[in-house]
Amino acid sequence: MFLLRCPLLLLLLLPLSSRPQKFPTRDEELFQMQIRDKAFFHDSSVIPDGAEISSYLFRDTPKRYFFVVEEDNTPLAVTVTPCDAPLEWKLSVQELPEEASGEGSGEPEPLEQQKQQITNEEGTELFSYKGNDVEYFVSSSSPSGLYQLDLLSTEKDTHFKVYATTTPESDQPYPELPYDPRIDVTSLGRTTVTLAWKPSPTASLLKQPIQYCIVINKEHNFKSLCAVEAKLSSDDAFMMAPKPGLDFSPFDFAHFGFPSDNNSGKERGFLKSSSKFGRQTSSKPRVDLHKVCVGNKNIFTVSDLKPDTQYYFDMFAVNTNTNMSTAYVGTFARTKEEAKQKTVELKDGKVTDVFIKRKGAKFLRFAPVSSHQKVTFSVHSCLDAVQIQVRRDGKLLLSQNVEGVRQFQLRGKAKAKYLIRLKGSKKGASMLKILATTRPNKQSFPSLPEDTRIKAFDKLRTCSSVTVAWLGTQERNKFCIYKREVDDNYNEEQKKREQNQCLGPDTRKKSEKVLCKYFHSQNIQKAVTTETIRGLQPGKSYLLDVYVIGHGGHSVKYQSKLVKTRKFC
């Protein structure tokens, strides 16, 4: 428990008076009432137990906060959230002077003398950090003493937040992230992007009130909600989701407009049709950053975007009881180019991305500029199987279902024109990459074996490692293997939803990377390689992914493999 009634601390932090004010602790009935009074801790050097404080740093001007832990072996958690600039911060502890531990007698020492007695002593450093990430110090058993938190911003004046507690197990003010905290882009159009995410266990298991807020901008991802709010003006801080009874279905487009370059003073598109979605904006120019809270939904479609534009998407789970938030892993996506015509022209040797709506179809045209003996079509289906049909001057040459990577070589004809029809899956939207070329040596996709499964050797499993193998080809390619810990209830259906083979290693965290290596064999029967993945935890489940990267830089993911280490060895 934080001891904030200590006479020494009162003398240090408050003006002397005949009836000194008490700082609240967890034992006082008025704690919650005083916490709600924002002015109570304004510009105070005391960190209250179990409440988040917001403050401001001037550049190159350090700031120091104090709190007291009364008893040894006390749990302690401290969270520092930078807002709009990196911070340098350090947590240290020192023993309290003897005068602070007893009741004391006689006249108190002068304020300046006691202040010097504390600040002149060098405490023991417990933790330090420099950067703009939300960082934590957590200890299950902390010593008693006077704790000092020193903060500094060397880049610019900035806001920040601090939260400290001696009861971290019971408090849990920040929403917990799911086992997979990534935002999935489930649908991509010229002006729309559909996002989906897994619910916070704080909502699904603990039944606490959680709402999700999405942030969209064109510059970069954000690491905290206060960093977003530092960018937003006060008038544009919130856009509320539709009210119950007037809500949209999960796949309806919830419009919110991005003002154009010459129309920044007008109302946004989604405000014109109905006022229920939020407040109207003022006429002053806005930063191109937008935030919308969608309640407890786990899917949302962003609309009124610009074609062929890259956007960054961040998701924050907000505990509406505490108003404290946790950031999901942000993502980005580029909207599709504006379709100038219904048939897409393929360029010789250039990879083209194709998105097809559920049960939809796309038409592509390939017209080689020179005579050719053969033409090659390479197709990489990212999700479910797609159907490809190729006609040359109206004659059907090919009709096949494609899963993974397939290559088709057809006989050429002078001045021939090829029409390609791609039909999507009945299960959902389809994504694929396609390349057409008259040059047989032009290979942008890596060659793959017929079997792209990863094999795990059960007898070689230990408490800290697993051994796996996969097939290669006669072509020398680069292979990268990644691991990710998953819950024990992770199943094949969840694994199938994540089988977007077009997502490359650049979408993975650096901490998930195991290794990369080059491999091939002239003898196709011996084109197999094995790897032992070490440093795993006993009794834990891991999802393994192998990526093969071709000479053109395009990657293809093998089928994911779920493995589990032994619990006892």
pLDDT tens by residue, 255-310: 333 333 444 333 333 333 333 333 333 344 456 889 999 999 999 999 989 989 99
Rounded mean pLDDT of the chain?
78
Kindly report the backbone phi and psi dihedral angles of residue 188, in degrees, each rounded to the nearest multiple of 5, phi listed first.
-135, 125
Placement of tokens 């504006």 in the chain: 338
Question: What kind and span of H or E run contains 11?
Answer: helix 7-13
User: How many structural domains are present in the chain?
Assistant: 4
Query: Is 225 in the same domain as 329?
Result: yes
Question: What is the model's pLDDT at position 81?
Answer: 92
User: Looking at the domain assignment, is residue 360 inside a domain?
Assistant: yes
Same-domain pairing of 187 and 330: yes
What's the sign of the alpha-carbon dihedral 505, 507, 511, 512? Answer: negative
Biggest alpha carbon–alpha carbon distance for the chain: 108
pLDDT higher than threshold 50 for residue 405: yes
Give residue 407's pLDDT band: very low, low, confident or very high (50, 70, 90): confident
Provide the pLDDT for residue 350.
87
Determine the pLDDT at residue 525. 83
Confidence band of 339 (pLDDT split at 50, 70, 90): low
Domain that holds residue 557: 454-564
Q: How confident is the model at residue 119 (pLDDT cuts 50, 70, 90)?
A: low
Do 552 and 444 meet the contact criterion of CB atoms below 8 Å apart?
yes
What mean pLDDT comes out for the span 68-95? 90
519-532 core/surface letters (b: 16 or more CB in 10 A; e: else):
beeeeeeebebebe
Whether residue 207 sits in one domain with residue 308: yes
**Does residue 231 lie within any of the structural domains?**
yes
Looking at 437, 469, 502, which one is the last position of a domain? 437
28-49 pLDDT, tens digit per residue, is 444 444 444 444 444 458 888 8
- Looking at residues 384-404, what average pLDDT do you find? 89
Q: Which of 250-254, 311-315, 432-436, 483-487 has the lowest mean pLDDT?
A: 250-254
Residue 323 forms part of a structural domain = yes
CATH number at residue 537: 2.60.40.10
Between 25-29, 179-183, 291-295, 399-403, the lowest mean confidence (pLDDT) is in: 25-29
Using alpha carbons, select from 426, 251, 433 the residue that is nearest to residue 355. Answer: 433
Render pLDDT for 300-315 as a digit per residue (tens, 0 to 9).
999 989 989 999 999 9
In a domain, 89, yes or no: yes
Asked if 60 and 182 sit in the same domain, the reply is no
Mean pLDDT across 182-191: 92
Instruction: Please indicate, yes or no, whether residues 300 and 193 belong to a single structural domain of this protein.
Output: yes
Q: Would you state the pLDDT for residue 369?
A: 82
CB 408 within 8 A of CB 398: yes
Residue 73 and residue 203 in one domain:
no
Whether residue 378 sits in one domain with residue 296: no
The most confident of the ranges 6-20, 373-387, 456-470 is 456-470
Indicate whether 357 and 426 sit together in one domain: yes
**pLDDT score of 492:** 66
Instruction: Pick the range with the lowest mean pLDDT from 181-195, 424-438, 469-483, 537-551.
Output: 424-438
Residues 432, 466, single domain; the answer is: no
Q: 28 Cβ partners below 8 Å, 6+ apart?
A: 22
Contact 90, 127 (CB under 8 A): yes
Is 421 a domain residue?
yes
The reply to whether 214 and 356 lie within a common domain is no
| CATH number of the domain that residue 422 is part of | 2.60.120.680
Same domain, 179 and 167: no
For residue 341, name the pLDDT band (cuts at 50, 70, 90).
low
Residues 144, 71: contact at Cβ < 8 Å?
Answer: yes
Supply the pLDDT for residue 546. 93
Are 5 and 23 contacting, i.e. CB atoms less than 8 angstroms apart? yes
- What residues contact residue 108 under an 8 Å CB cut-off, 6+ apart? 7, 11, 114
Residue 415 has, within 13 A of its CA and on its CB side, a CA count of: 0
Supply the pLDDT for residue 122: 66
Which one, of 405, 409, 360, lies nearest residue 382 by Cα?
A: 405
Residues 179 and 166 in one domain: no
Residue 99: per-residue pLDDT = 53
- Tell me the pTM: 0.44
